[in-house]
Structure formats: C-alpha cells, structure tokens
C-alpha cells in the first residue's frame, strides 16, 4: 500500500511572505492603535523572516517570553534610571512584537494549533502578572517616602487587565458560538483605535521610558490603571447587555 505524504510547505522568499501576510491579518475592529499600526506590522516582518528560516510559532512565543522576562527582572532588581527605562521599554515592546509574530507565522504555515494558542495565552497571562508585580516591588524598594496606597496601583492595574482580557475573550467566544462560529466584526474605526490606546500593552511598554523619573512614571502608570478600570466597567456593562439580549 502506498501512503501519500503531506504536500511540502510552500517555499517563499521574505518579500513573498510579507506580501502574503497582508491578506492574513486579524480583524481591525476593536483594535488599539499601537497594536494595529505598529505591533502587527513589526510582528509581520518577524513572522516573514522566521518563516524563511523555518522557525515554528512556539519558538517565537518562547522568544517573546524571554524578552518580556528580561524587562520584568530589570524592573524588580535594578534601581530606576533613564537607561533602565529604555532597556525595559525595548525589551517589553520587542517581546510584544514577537507575541504578534507567532500568530502571523502560524497563519503563514497554514494555521495554528490548539497547543500553540494555549501557550500564547498562558505566556500573556504570566507576563502581565509578573510585570505589574515588578512595578510594586520596584516602587517599594527604590522610591523613598512613598505613600502606601500607591503600592495598590499595580494590584488595581492587574485586576483591570484580568477582567478586560478574560471578559472580552469569553464574550467573543459566547457571541461567536451563538452566531454559528462567525466572528463578530463591529466595524473599523481609527478613532476607536486611538481611544483604546490606554488599554494597549504597547502604551504601557512606552510608559516605562519614564522610569528614570519614578514618581512621574507612577503618575502615568496610575492614570493608565484608572483608564483601564473605566474601560473595564464599560466592557462589563456592555457585555452584560449583549449577552442578555441573546
């Protein structure tokens, strides 16, 4: 009996891979501006280069985790300075770019796997927990005469992230199941993307550029935490109404 082998993966140049990715992007609706215009583009370049080299999406996920961990450890262990802020911001944003690249590489290779998607979400959750914990540790260690309530900001920010991430993912799953598996596209809007910048991980990564002025950084960090809470409240109310109407 002759067993047919799987067809070989297509051989693409870097330019061909970049071109193909233009037609294999996630929906633009409800996408923050940095993620849409900067991070996905950087991720596409990384995905195309990785495809040509024969790398796997899980390798890119591991690189993303490693870069993010470098930034987190630096925040926890090193006294804040301007050079540290640049290092941390670059590490976090590079990790974010690789986080976008793994999914795009999976689409270039013909589709992702359940274990790859699971690993990606696990890394995202651990990364965010560690990053906000690192901010609390840094503030406690290196900012003198700091009011105790300021140390609650990372807890507030982390709670807002968990509610936003899991609330929106579960909402999308429930609405998709109700719609027979079709994604719920709500329309493309540049204004909406700009309004969503406070909940964009890229905005948080850029905020670490202010780490050389710790108190200024904490003010900006606190504003982002407050805005994330407000977005959460809006999401929860809107989602409750959406699911109640199903």
How many Å apart are CA 220 and CA 210, to the nearest integer? 9
How many Å apart are CA 112 and CA 102, to the nearest integer? 9
Inside any domain, residue 6: no
134 half-sphere exposure, CB direction, 13 A CA radius? 23
The length of the chain, given as a count of residues = 246
Q: By the 8 A CB rule, do 21 and 45 touch?
A: no
- What pLDDT sits at residue 7? 42
- What pLDDT sits at residue 77? 97
Domain of 171, in residue numbers: 26-244
Q: Which of 173, 224, 237 is nearest to 196 (CA)?
A: 224
How many Å apart are CA 222 and CA 139, to the nearest integer? 12
Inside any domain, residue 203: yes
- What pLDDT sits at residue 1? 39
238: buried, middle or exposed (CB in 10 Å: 19+, 13-18, 0-12)? Answer: exposed
- What pLDDT sits at residue 2? 41
Inside any domain, residue 205: yes
- What pLDDT sits at residue 39? 95
- What pLDDT sits at residue 64? 97
Q: Which of 53, 47, 48, 134 is nearest to 99 (CA)?
A: 47
Domains in the chain, number: 1
Two structure tokens written together for 214: 């710790």
CATH of the domain at 84: 1.20.120.1760
3-class state of residue 158 by DSSP:
helix
Q: By the 8 A CB rule, do 158 and 129 touch?
A: yes
CA dihedral 209, 211, 217, 221 (to 10 degrees): 70
Phi, psi of 87 (to 5 degrees): -60, -50
Inside any domain, residue 32: yes
Inside any domain, residue 5: no
Inside any domain, residue 1: no
Eight-state DSSP code of residue 189: -
Inside any domain, residue 3: no
206 membership: H or E segment, kind and range = helix 201-207
- What pLDDT sits at residue 47? 94
What distances in angstroms separate CA 239 from CA 168, 224, 231, one per listed residue? 8, 22, 12
Residuewise pLDDT in 10s, the chain (246 residues): 344 443 445 677 888 887 788 766 666 667 888 998 999 999 999 999 999 999 999 999 999 999 999 999 999 999 999 999 999 999 999 999 999 999 999 988 887 788 988 999 899 999 999 999 999 999 999 999 888 889 999 999 999 999 988 888 888 888 888 776 555 555 567 788 888 899 999 999 999 999 999 999 999 999 999 999 999 999 889 888 988 887
Inside any domain, residue 8: no
């Amino acid at each position: 009996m002759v067993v047919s082998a799987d067809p070989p993966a297509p051989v693409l140049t870097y330019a061909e891979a970049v071109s193909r990715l233009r037609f294999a992007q996630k929906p633009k609706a409800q996408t923050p501006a940095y993620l849409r215009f900067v991070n996905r583009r950087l991720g596409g370049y990384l995905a195309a280069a990785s495809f040509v080299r024969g790398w796997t999406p899980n390798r890119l996920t591991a690189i993303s985790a490693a870069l993010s961990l470098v930034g987190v450890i630096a925040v926890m262990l090193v006294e804040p300075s301007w050079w540290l802020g640049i290092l941390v911001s670059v590490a976090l944003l590079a990790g974010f770019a690789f986080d976008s690249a793994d999914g795009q590489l999976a689409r270039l290779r013909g589709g992702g796997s359940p274990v790859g998607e699971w690993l990606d979400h696990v890394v995202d959750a651990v990364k965010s927990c560690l990053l906000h914990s690192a901010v609390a540790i840094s503030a406690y260690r290196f900012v003198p005469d700091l009011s105790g309530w300021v140390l609650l900001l990372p807890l507030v920010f982390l709670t807002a992230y968990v509610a936003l991430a899991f609330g929106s993912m579960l909402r999308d799953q429930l609405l998709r199941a109700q719609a027979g598996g079709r994604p719920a596209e709500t329309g493309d809007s540049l204004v909406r993307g700009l309004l969503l910048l406070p909940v964009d991980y890229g905005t948080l990564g850029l905020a670490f550029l202010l780490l050389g002025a710790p108190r200024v950084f904490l003010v900006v960090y606190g504003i982002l935490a407050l805005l994330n809470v407000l977005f959460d409240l809006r999401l929860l109310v809107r989602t409750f109404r959406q699911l109640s109407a199903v």
